[in-house]
């Protein structure tokens, strides 16, 4: 299947959803959980369908950064839902690893952008910190240099001007959602070849100007 994206969001038809469920909820999630467990982490594999933690609604037509209205297909937007299962697992010392497959109220499976789901769950759980790890060392400016810190206002300007594009738009939107819901420590970093997220190159994001 040839993947199709708009502003970092995958356009998903029935065939693409079948692949996403098989790969994300099956092979990738299981392999990730196994790797974490082998490193001594008490990881537990889940999807958004488990206990409805990823309850979602079918995404409406999406307005792309260029103004086009796009039907994303079988793509979900997270809806308010109970996170009790996650709180219980964390309280018992487990680390939930959640594949970004959501479910509608009628049981239909939906493909949810992983960054979008992460930002939503961070806000719903009242998390202290959200780290979005990607292929680039943070948010880059027009010259390809990492921007150390961004406010919501600057994020919105970058998206509107086209300075932020492709997958970075979805990442910024996820961070924005988490910040608005009270997550205070939000960052986008490179997930490749790092020793610690605390020292990884990246961009810190905040509601207002960062002072430290």
At 204, phi and psi to the nearest 5? -90, 140
Q: State both tokens at 99.
A: 């594949």
What is the residue-level pLDDT of the chain in tens, covering all 212 positions? 678 888 878 899 999 999 999 999 999 999 999 999 999 999 999 999 999 999 999 999 888 878 889 899 999 999 999 999 999 999 999 999 999 999 999 999 999 999 999 999 999 999 999 999 988 889 998 888 999 999 999 999 998 888 888 888 889 999 999 999 999 999 999 888 888 888 888 999 988 754 44
* Whole-number pLDDT of residue 209: 57
* Whole-number pLDDT of residue 211: 46
Residues 6+ apart with CB under 8 A from 33: 43, 44, 45, 97
* Whole-number pLDDT of residue 46: 98
Residues 6+ apart with CB under 8 A from 184: 128, 129, 206
CA–CA dist 55, 51 (Å, integer): 9
CA–CA dist 152, 141 (Å, integer): 15
* Whole-number pLDDT of residue 175: 95
Q: Which of 104, 109, 135, 105 is nearest to 22 (CA)?
A: 109
Strands 43-47 and 95-99: parallel
* Whole-number pLDDT of residue 68: 87
- 133 within 8 A of 191, measured Cβ to Cβ: yes
Q: Start-end ranges of CATH 3.40.1160.10 in the chain?
A: 1-112
Q: Which residue has the tokens 């964390």?
A: 90
CA–CA dist 204, 150 (Å, integer): 6
Q: Which residue has the tokens 């400016």?
A: 141
* 3-class state of residue 147 by DSSP: coil
* Whole-number pLDDT of residue 212: 43
* pTM of this structure: 0.89
CATH number of 1-112: 3.40.1160.10
């Amino acid at each position: 299947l040839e993947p199709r994206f708009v502003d970092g969001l995958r356009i998903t038809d029935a065939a693409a959803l079948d692949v996403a469920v098989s790969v994300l909820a099956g092979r990738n999630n299981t392999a990730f959980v196994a790797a974490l467990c082998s490193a001594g982490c008490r990881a537990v594999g889940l999807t958004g369908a488990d206990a409805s933690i990823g309850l979602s609604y079918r995404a409406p037509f999406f307005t792309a950064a260029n103004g086009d209205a796009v039907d994303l297909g079988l793509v979900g937007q997270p809806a308010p839902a109970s996170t009790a299962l996650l709180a219980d697992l964390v309280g018992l010392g487990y680390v939930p690893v959640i594949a970004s497959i959501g479910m509608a109220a009628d049981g239909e499976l939906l493909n949810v952008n992983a960054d979008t789901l992460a930002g939503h769950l961070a806000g719903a759980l009242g998390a202290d910190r959200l780290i979005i790890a990607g292929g680039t060392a943070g948010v880059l400016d027009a010259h390809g240099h990492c921007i150390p810190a961004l406010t919501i206002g600057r994020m919105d300007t970058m998206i509107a001007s086209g300075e932020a594009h492709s997958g970075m738009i979805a990442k910024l939107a996820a961070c924005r959602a988490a910040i608005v819901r009270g997550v205070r420590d939000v960052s986008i970093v490179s997930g490749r070849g790092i020793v610690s997220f605390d020292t990884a190159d990246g961009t810190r994001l905040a509601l207002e100007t960062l002072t430290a």
